[in-house]
Amino acid sequence: KGIYTAPGPADLVHEWAYLPDFAVGFVALARNLDKLGFHEALNFPGHAVTDLQIKAAAEKAIGRQLKMTAMPWWVLRAGSPFVAMWREIVSMSYLR
């Protein structure tokens, strides 16, 4: 439909990881738990991008402009007593 829906502020940086790569990282971590100290700082090389950057990449890929809209959180909140998935999504809305 030519619309990109941003779940939160479009200029807010989000961290993203490709889940298969993330899973490989967790398996490697699990195999080396005995070598780690009690408190370790572990980093994963994912991607840090904004919704504006994702929209721009999508526009470049499809060769046309997209309209940006905001996620209609009120719809999810209103339907959350009836749709379990919406309830869970709303419970994570603080991340936006």
Rounded to the nearest 5°, which phi and psi values hold at 65? -75, 150
CB-based contacts of 91-95 (< 8 A; 24+ apart in sequence) = 93/7, 95/8
Average pLDDT on 72-83 reads: 96
Split at pLDDT 50, 70, 90, the class of 63 is very high
Is it the case that residue 38 has pLDDT exceeding 90? Answer: no
Question: According to the model, what pLDDT value does residue 41 have?
Answer: 82
Is it the case that residue 89 has pLDDT exceeding 90? Answer: yes
